[in-house]
Amino acid sequence: MLVAWCPLSAASDSDAEHPEPKAVGQVSSAAPLSDATKPDAPANPSEASTDGAARPSTATEPAKDPTGSADMATEQSEASVAIPIKGTVRFVGRRKIDLADEDQRVAVFIVGRQSDISPESLDKPYVVVTKKKQFNPRLMVVPRGATVRFPNRDPIIHNVFSVSGENRFDAGRYSRGEGATHVFTHEGLVRIYCNVHHSMSALLYVIDNPWYTYADSRGRFELPPLPEGEYTVAAVHHLAGMVRRKVVIRAGETPDLELKMSVRSFRIKPHLNKDGKPYRKRKSDRY
């Protein structure tokens, strides 16, 4: 297995702590990677006759399939080779991260590669709740074309929005209820804010393939099986930003990666509201 380090994306440790939202469109996706050439696979051996009948002493060649189904089966076998990517996310530094807490989870996915997304994946419920003036979860991976709902569970008004490039949207002001929805149609990082409460923020990452997962409480992860080739694996945490690593998948090998992330002292960096203006100072909502 060939593994090479890749530089951090634009959403690095230092700028992942909610920078100016207008700059997000510049880091929406990684550059596409070319497919690696697949090695030739050995053809399946011809099946011997099993009818038990006597044969002349003169050897005969096995009959050829005029339909070519044997060749088709070989091609399908080669195309069906798929191998999962396993690994561990490790946090370095003084700050401790409890990965058992959903609010601290790490998303792991493939960037820069397009693959069909099943209708079932698009029909799944993707929900980011506003409650106690926070987004929950604070990090979510969304397949391109999926609909995300933003219900309001607070007795106060919220206004969910993003100015992240082509995924920008404005849900408008709304009170308690099932809230607004938005369909995300472009791959890349989406920073979510509330136009009423400056401290509210969340991250979505829209991917153009079905290959994503979340690390468990020990930091372990396993991506769904992928065809042979070269890929870029990305890990995202809402405080630690994004790290990327290249990996080559070959038949008979199961990659096992270690992705190191670092969390620095967290603070909400100043960002503008949906109109590109500073937030108005206001008294805290009480409820």
Cα–Cα distance between 238 and 18 in angstroms, integer? 9
Cα–Cα distance between 111 and 123 in angstroms, integer? 22
pLDDT at 264: 72
Other Cβ atoms less than 10 A from the Cβ of 280: the count is 8
Between 53 and 90, the higher pLDDT residue: 90
pLDDT at 266: 55
| CA–CA–CA angle 91, 143, 92 (5° rounding) | 5
Mean pLDDT of 174-187: 96
Mean pLDDT of 12-39: 37
Name the residue with tokens 């401790």. 96
Report the DSSP beta bridge partners of residue 134: 131
> Does the structure show a pLDDT above 70 at 127?
yes
Report the DSSP beta bridge partners of residue 193: 161, 201
List, in order of start, the domains of the chain with CATH numbers. Answer: 3-26+74-118+125-262 (2.60.40.420)
